[in-house]
Amino acid sequence: MKYFKIYGEIVISPNVINRALKVSLIVGTILNLINQGETLVTLDIANLNFIKLGLTYLVPYGVTTYTATAMKVEFLIGTKAIIDADLKCVKCGCEIHVKKNELIPECKKCGIKTHWKLK
């Protein structure tokens, strides 16, 4: 249950939403022009497939949101923590707590080879 809260916070964060909207608008528009270009250019609303139109924007939004969320949950050393989190080193099992906006440190045992995961 704790993971849903963390993922939920990331998914609704303004940075993730803004990035996903920008990518969705650009990629979705290009794909819609490729798939239904003639119908869109001539404004032939009767033959426009609105389900395809919507999904062509929704899919890039979802992919971008998923990718951004997955990257933010990685907790890379030297980056700022986006949430308060308890982390565990994958290599040695060392545990730490980081606060939101705090720089994520290296593991004292593993150094630069540290790979943190949520505890």
Tallying the residues shown for the chain, one arrives at 119
Average pLDDT of the chain is 90
| Cβ contact 81:99 at 8 Å | yes
Give the pLDDT of residue 106: 93
For 113, the 3-state DSSP assignment is coil
Secondary structure class of 63 (helix, strand, coil): helix
3-class secondary structure per residue, 78-102:
CCECCCCEEEEECCCCCEEEECCCC
The pLDDT tens digits for 71-97 are 877 788 898 887 888 999 999 999 999
**What are the pLDDT digits (tens) for 9-65?**
889 989 899 999 999 999 999 999 999 988 988 888 898 899 999 999 999 999 999
Q: Compute how many other C-beta atoms are within 10 angstroms of the C-beta atom of residue 116.
A: 27
